Amino acid sequence: MSDALLILTAVGSILLLLFLVMKTRLHAVVALILVSMIAGIFSGMSPENIAATIQKGMGGTLGFVAVVVALGAMFGKVMEVTGALDRIAHTLLDQFGTKNANWALTFTGFICALPLFFDVAVVLLIGVAFAVVRRSNSSLVKMGMALLAGIASCQAFLIPAPGPILVASQLNADFGYMILFGLLASIPAMILGGPLFGSFIAKRVHVELPQQTQLNNNELNSNKLNKDPFNNNRLNKEPAKNNPLGDISREGEGTPSFLLAMGLIGLPLLMIGLNTFGARFVAPNSSLQHWIAFIGHPFTAIMVACLMAFHFLGTKRGISRDRIMEICSSALQPAGIIILVTGAGGIFKQVLIDSGVGAALGNQLAGSGLPIVILAFILAAAVRVIQGSATVAMLTACGLIIPIITPLGLNGAQLAAITIAIGGGSVVLSHVNDSGFWLANRYLGLTEKQTLQTWTLMETIIGTTGGIVAVIISAFL
């Protein structure tokens, strides 16, 4: 089959996927698998190979993401229930003061979103922004954009957030460099998209603080919010139980300290970084190097963080083991949605690779003369605009970019830069087919036009900044 027909198959598959989930209201998991089958048939794959590709795509993706998502969901839930995340928010607000509260909210979202999924972080932390607005009589848009920028930047570029760590695993990028490059991309992105852009746009867009500052389950399930077909990150629709600026202690005796909360979040990052930088000082293929690789693997790092959280936030503070088990179970049940949709996205990615669609597109793009990092950004951005989900955009971009980079023999650092570029492209130009668009719209009480002026521009600033940083990094590798 010609390259032109294969590329046409890819475009048609994405359009069909969008039609199925937005018009026919087919569940994202079913739609992704069905479209993968159709794409395989129209690209000339044999029926038996299509079935094998589906199994390979699902298994290859879930073999990594299921462990990361499950452990991460439990860790984040324990941090939330015990008040550790609230402690971080309080301390940052106290340190920055009311005058610089928007900066405090940006760093609150940035740090607290690490162990959470995007939608969960918004639901849990938006009350902090509301409380700051009430206390300081400042702009809701200014504070809301600051918080959302911190969350969005973390989720786009930093591991162990699900999207970046999944792409890094698919591309075999070095996780240690992912942490370093993720920080280099996310910090300027959140500053530009949060405090700076928020202060600018707040002078042009004004909304009043909603009377009901936390949405209930019915509102979260409203028709507008459900325009998002890939609503796969909404793990917890329950609002925070306590006023974020009031008594922050929740379950357990006493209040978790700021150092403990930050230490638990930083622990897996340090362990993962050890694998990249510590292993450089030991002999290759030695027993010590193998142990360092094991200790610094995301599986081990997040597992240790979970166990530390269970002990220091749980049993040491008087929470029974049975209650810890209940908390973990409550996190695992909805996390299954994330796992299944991500696995289905992995199937679509694998079909693009095995059918030759990715290679065909790679052949066309290779003649463009554009650097591979820019191509990765453009591909992720195109898929993002068409179908809305950042996760699916990341996975689809992987499927299209892998055939291009495979012959190049890139090292782990170069692949990490490409991962950052994909993360940047996957968040630009968020609009009505993205769950984040409607979360910002409903929580901040914005009109659709105001949401485009605020949320969409903020996401585009964040994604573009990350893409530029990835290009600069790649120039030195």
Nearest Cα residue to 148 out of 113, 115, 183: 113
Give the mean pLDDT of the chain.
79
Proportion of the chain above pLDDT 90, given as a percent: 13
Please state the rounded mean pLDDT for residues 330-342. Answer: 73
Please write down the HEC assignment for all residues of 12-62: HHHHHHHHHHHCCCCCHHHHHHHHHHHHHHHCCCCHHHHHHHHHHHHHHHH
Tens digits of residue pLDDT in 129-178: 777 777 777 788 888 899 899 989 988 998 877 788 888 888 888 888 99
Residue 363's pLDDT is 65
- Report the residue count for the chain: 477
Q: Find the range with the poorest average confidence among 59-73, 87-101, 209-223.
A: 209-223
Distance, in Å, from the CA atom of 303 to the CA atom of 308, rounded to the nearest integer, reads 9
Residue 346's pLDDT is 74
Q: How many CB atoms lie within 10 A of CB 416?
A: 32
DSSP E strand stretches across 396-477? none
Residue 236's pLDDT is 39
The contacts of residue 441 (CB under 8 Å, 6+ apart) are 224, 447, 448, 451, 455
Whether the pLDDT of residue 286 is over 90: the answer is no
Distance, in Å, from the CA atom of 239 to the CA atom of 123, rounded to the nearest integer, reads 6
Helix (H, G, I), strand (E, B) or coil at 201: helix
Distance, in Å, from the CA atom of 80 to the CA atom of 97, rounded to the nearest integer, reads 23
CB 444 within 8 A of CB 144: yes
- Mind giving me the DSSP string for 145-158? HHHHHHHHHHHHH-
Please state the rounded mean pLDDT for residues 186-193. Answer: 94
CB 120 within 8 A of CB 234: yes
Residue 433's pLDDT is 65
Whether the pLDDT of residue 313 is over 60: the answer is yes
Task: Pull the structure tokens for residue 434.
Answer: 């993205």
Res. 418 pLDDT band, cuts 50 70 90: very high
Residue 213's pLDDT is 45
Res. 215 pLDDT band, cuts 50 70 90: very low
Nearest Cα residue to 186 out of 220, 214, 163, 207: 163
Whether the pLDDT of residue 421 is over 80: the answer is yes
Residue 29's pLDDT is 79
The contacts of residue 397 (CB under 8 Å, 6+ apart) are 167, 376, 379, 380, 383, 422, 425, 426
Give the start-to-end residue ranges of the domains of the chain: 3-231+251-475
Q: What is the DSSP letter of 175?
A: H
Query: Quick one: CA torsion of 247, 253, 258, 262, rounded to 10 degrees?
Result: -120
Whether the pLDDT of residue 355 is over 60: the answer is yes
